Copies of this chain bind each other. A is one copy, B any other.
Amino acid sequence: MEKSKPNTKHLAFDLPKLHNLTMADQVELKLREYFKKKAFKPGDLLPKELEIAASLGVSRNIVREALSRLKALGLIETKKKRGMVLAEPDILGSFEKVLDPLIMPDSTLYDIFGLRLVLEMGLADVLYMYKTDQDIQELEKIVTKEKPDSEKFRIKNEIAFHGKLYAMTNNHTLMRFQSLLLPLFDYVVAFEKDHYKPGGVSHADLLQILREGTVEDFRKGMRLHLEPHFAWLEHLKNK
């Protein structure tokens, strides 16, 4: 009898399941759209939580969850108890928050190791486009400070020298990207350490090339300088 209409709830599936999204998801999207459409600029005050909640017809809880996400992604900032403002765009801000070697599979770690080599090898042309005499002088300072026999300071030397190279590109994003990736490099290099042998081209050699050599010389020099790392990459490949 009544069993003749079982589970009629299933009929309700058709239309509304277009939104497989939670309210918080939808509000997050709405807010993103809104910020773009209204062409907000960094520093602009956003609507109040209650206004948003009212205008979207959701509870303040939901709005806060959505805002909390945008905050986590670095898209907005809260000014204490004053209100929220659109943050200065920083595409690497959220990147930084998930960049933890401990929660990363080894494969990704190796990928990043390879990515580093790609970046370093690709630096040459941009470097030659932007380098100045002052840059060269600063590199000299860094190189003369190096203690070639100190294994302890080798990594420090590496960071100083190569970091300066990135800085010379005048590419702030690239610079920051590299500095974020650095800790992960170290992580892989720690594995590599036992196998490590200095390449045939030193920092001083690279600097000399940078002073008087061509871009192609520099590329070749960098390749030789990175030879131990490439060897390590080859080693990883064959495992």
Could you tell me which A residues sit within 8 Å of B by CB distance?
A: 24, 28, 35-36, 61, 64-66, 68-75, 89-95, 97-100, 102-105, 107-108, 111-112, 114-115, 117-126, 129-130, 169-174, 177, 215-216, 219-220, 223, 230, 233-234, 237
Return the contact of A115 from the options B111, B114, B174, B223 (Cβ within 8 A). B174
Interface of A is mostly: helix
Contact B93 A74 (CB under 8 A): no
Top 6 A-B pairs, shortest CB-CB distance? A122-B122, A111-B173, A69-B72, A118-B122, A121-B122, A94-B94
Contact A75 B89 (CB under 8 A): no
Instruction: For the complex formed, measure the closest distance between the CB of A52 and the CB atoms of chain B, giving whole angstroms.
Output: 15
Contact A89 B104 (CB under 8 A): yes
CB-CB under 8 A from A171, the residues of chain B are 111, 114-115, 118
Contact B89 A93 (CB under 8 A): no
Contact A119 B117 (CB under 8 A): no
How many angstroms between the C-alpha atoms of A129 and B226 in the bound complex? 14
Q: List 30 A-B contacts (CB under 8 A).
A: A35-B103, A36-B100, A36-B102, A61-B64, A65-B65, A73-B97, A73-B98, A75-B98, A89-B104, A91-B99, A91-B104, A91-B108, A92-B95, A95-B95, A111-B174, A114-B171, A114-B174, A115-B173, A115-B174, A117-B122, A117-B125, A118-B122, A118-B171, A121-B121, A121-B124, A121-B125, A122-B123, A129-B234, A130-B237, A219-B219
How many angstroms between the C-alpha atoms of A66 and B94 in the bound complex? 15
How many angstroms between the C-alpha atoms of A93 and B130 in the bound complex? 32
Q: Which residue of B lies closest to A65 (CB)?
A: B68
CB-CB under 8 A from A90, the residues of chain B are 98
How many angstroms between the C-alpha atoms of A86 and B29 in the bound complex? 23
How many angstroms between the C-alpha atoms of A158 and B27 in the bound complex? 37
